[in-house]
Amino acid sequence: MITKRDYYEVLDVGRNASDDEIKANYRKFALKYHPDRNPGDKESEENFKEAAEAYEVLRDPQKRNIYDQFGHQGLEGSGFSGFGGFEDIFSSFGDIFEDFFGFGTGRRSRTQVQRGADLRYDLGISFMEAAFGTETEINVEKMEMCPECGGSGSESGTHPETCSYCNGTGQVSRNQGFFTVRTTCPQCRGKGQTIPYPCSNCRGTGQVRVNKKVGVRIPAGVDNGSRLRLTGEGEAGGYGGPPGDLYVFIHVETHDFFGRHDTDVVCQIPISFVQAALGDKIKVPTLNGDKILEIPKGTQPGDLFRFRGEGIPSLRSGQRGDQVIQVMIKTPTSLTKKQERLLKEFASLESGKLSNKFKNILKGSLNSSS
Ligand SMILES: [Zn+2]
Ligand SMILES: [Zn+2]
């Protein structure tokens, strides 16, 4: 003979406990022994069932009355037999678990909304478009809510019906020893409803594939690899869920003349060795048209010059970087007789100057080491 513990003892409440006290203590024990928190623990399992059974009786004035007068045997006589398994417990007290524990019943999955998928679009733009920003339209192929049925999937004038296979629960149960295993209903795929007259436009899915034109505003300063997010322009959500987002990945084409380093525009300008030696004023293309750059006397190959504020605006601050100009000195490849004669004359002067200079350097180093 199986001896059953007293229900008041199980829930640790007095004989005159109020409904609220009983409920509060049941919650406490159910949480403590919940199978999700004690996976595989047989003792917790028994305690969990015991508490549920006690609560089932004491929360019901009629059952509580019978129990108070006749004890366990009285309840058996009235047809009460406790619970078969977790499934029974969860289906009886589902509200408590959802309201106070936020886990356990698995019932919510049926009505859970699904956010739509995010989409990616790769967009190529020119160097100038990246520098100044632009507006464009892109064609995005995506799933949208069916306009014919408003996403319901039913032909107009008809309605979804409760699934006959699972009686609308979206799940089917199967006993496996002590446990009841629940799986998604194969007929309605968990929705709990079937559509007897599917919408002809979307074949009952509630969504249709569309080619949508989406306007994209590209801010000045985007760079290769920049990513723009267009909220809500992704695929439609399921069961009334919100749509996903559309991510536009920017690919910037290279420019023949300008390069880029962060917010600085970089370029190389060829000048003759005469310009480098004597100094000159030259025209340099910038993002905003040509500008005059003054080359000082004695400019060396690779020297850098800057046009302040002629670069690309920062995406964050909007402040423009600089244009950095590197001079490249070109050596002439064809000279006239006269140019050649003059250069040779120049060279003879230069070598004398150089040798004098070297003599001085040598003298200096000899002096300092002695
Ligand atoms: Zn079903
Ligand atoms: Zn439709």
pLDDT digits (tens, 9 = 90+) for 86-139: 666 666 665 555 444 433 344 444 445 688 899 999 999 999 999 999 999 999
**DSSP code of residue 336:** -
Q: What backbone torsions phi and psi does residue 169 show, to the nearest 5 degrees?
A: -80, -20
Looking at per-residue confidence, does 83 or 285 come out higher? 285
- Calculate what percentage of the chain has a pLDDT beyond 70: 83
From the CA of 193, which ligand is nearest?
A: 1
Mean pLDDT for the stretch of residues 342-348: 89
The bridge status of strand 227-230 relative to strand 246-252 is antiparallel
Band (pLDDT 50/70/90 cuts) for residue 248 is very high
**DSSP code of residue 291:** E
Cα(208) to centroid of ligand 2, in Å?
7
Cα(247) to centroid of ligand 2, in Å?
27
Cα(237) to centroid of ligand 2, in Å?
14
Residues 6 or more apart whose CB falls under 8 angstroms from that of 40 comprise none
Can you tell me which residue has the tokens 């917010």? 263
Among residues 370, 348, 347, 351, the alpha carbon closest in space to that of 359 is found at 351
Cα(184) to centroid of ligand 1, in Å?
8
From the CA of 202, which ligand is nearest?
A: 2
Cα(108) to centroid of ligand 1, in Å?
14
Band (pLDDT 50/70/90 cuts) for residue 368 is low
CA distance 218 to 196: 46
Residues 6 or more apart whose CB falls under 8 angstroms from that of 36 comprise 103, 104
**Inter-helix orientation angle 86-96/19-33, to 10°:** 130
Cα(357) to centroid of ligand 2, in Å?
91
CA distance 208 to 9: 59
Looking at per-residue confidence, does 338 or 169 come out higher? 338
- Given a contact cutoff of 8 angstroms between Cβ atoms, the answer to whether 6 and 17 are in contact is no
CA distance 6 to 53: 11
* Residue 217, pLDDT score: 94
CA 339, 343, 346, 348 dihedral sign is negative
CA distance 135 to 129: 9
Cα(195) to centroid of ligand 2, in Å?
11
From the CA of 147, which ligand is nearest?
A: 2
Cα(186) to centroid of ligand 1, in Å?
6
* Residue 194, pLDDT score: 87
Residues, CB within 5 angstroms of ligand 1 (ion): 163, 165-166, 185, 187-188
pLDDT per residue as tens digits for the range 45-66: 888 888 888 998 898 888 888 8
* Mean of pLDDT over the chain: 85
Q: Which two tokens stand for residue 43?
A: 């003792």
Cα(161) to centroid of ligand 1, in Å?
10
Cα(71) to centroid of ligand 1, in Å?
41
- Given a contact cutoff of 8 angstroms between Cβ atoms, the answer to whether 310 and 288 are in contact is yes
The bridge status of strand 246-252 relative to strand 119-125 is parallel
Q: How far is CA 299 from CA 22, 67, 283, 292, 326, in A?
A: 92, 105, 16, 16, 11
* Residue 94, pLDDT score: 54
Q: Which two tokens stand for residue 153?
A: 């999937």
CA distance 52 to 59: 10
Cα(162) to centroid of ligand 1, in Å?
8
- Given a contact cutoff of 8 angstroms between Cβ atoms, the answer to whether 324 and 262 are in contact is no
Count of helix runs (H) and strand runs (E) in the chain = 8, 15
Give yes or no for residue 211 having a pLDDT over 90: yes
CA distance 12 to 32: 14
Name residue 48's beta-bridge partners.
none
Burial class (CB in 10 A: 0-12, 13-18, 19+), 222: buried
* Residue 108, pLDDT score: 41
